[in-house]
Amino acid sequence: MVTSDKIKFAIVGLGRIGKRHAAMIQENPEAELCAVCDVRSAAETGWDQDHIPYFNDYAQMLENLDDCHVVNICTPNGLHAGQAVKALEQRKHVVVEKPMALTRMEAEAVIHKALQVSRQVFAVMQNRYSPPSVWLKEVMDKKLLGEIYFVQLNCFWNRDDRYYQNNGWHGTADLDGGTLYTQFSHFIDILYWLFGDVTDIQANFNDFAHQHSTDFEDSGSVMFNFVNGGMGNINFSTAVWDRNLESTITIIGENGTIKVAGQYMNEVVECNIRDYQKPELPASAPPNDYGGYKGSAANHHFVIDNVIQTLREQTFVTTNALEGMKVVDIIERIYHHRKNKSFKSYVSATN
Q: Dump pLDDT digits (tens) for 10-64.
A: 999 999 999 999 999 999 999 999 999 999 999 999 999 999 999 999 999 999 9
Structure confidence at residue 264 (pLDDT): 84
Residues 6+ apart with CB under 8 A from 168: none
Span 135-168, pLDDT tens digits: 999 999 999 999 999 999 999 999 999 999 876 7
Written as one string, the DSSP assignment of 61-130 is HHHT-TT--EEEE-S-GGGHHHHHHHHHHTT-EEEEPSSS-SSHHHHHHHHHHHHHHT--EEE--GGGGS
Rounded distance, CA 234 to CA 224, Å? 9
Q: Would you place residue 341 in the very low, low, confident or very high pLDDT band (cuts 50, 70, 90)? A: very low
Q: Within 13 Å and on the Cβ side, how many CA atoms surround 63?
A: 6
Of 18, 133, 3, 15, the closest CA to residue 69 belongs to: 3
Q: How far is CA 297 from CA 194, 252, 273, 281, in A?
A: 19, 25, 27, 15
Q: How far is CA 244 from the centre of its chain?
A: 18
Check whether 296 has a pLDDT greater than 80: no
- DSSP conformational letter for 272: E
- Hey, which bits of 118-218 come out as E strands? 121-123, 148-156, 198-206
Q: Is the pLDDT of residue 285 over 80?
A: no
Q: Which residue type is seen at 149?
A: Y
Tell me which amino acid residue 350 is.
Answer: T
Residue 348 in this model has a pLDDT that exceeds 70: no
Q: Answer whether the bond into residue 287 is a cis peptide, omega within 30°.
A: no
| pLDDT number for residue 230 | 98
List, in order of start, the domains of the chain with CATH numbers: 7-126+301-320 (3.40.50.720), 128-295+327-336 (3.30.360.10)
Within 13 Å and on the Cβ side, how many CA atoms surround 253? 22
Average pLDDT over residues 259-282: 95
Centre a 10 Å sphere on the Cβ of residue 50 and count the other Cβ atoms it contains.
8
Phi, psi of 202 (to 5 degrees): -130, 145
- When pLDDT is averaged across residues 178-193 and rounded to a whole number, the result is 96
Predicted structure pTM score:
0.93
pLDDT at 212 (0 to 100): 93
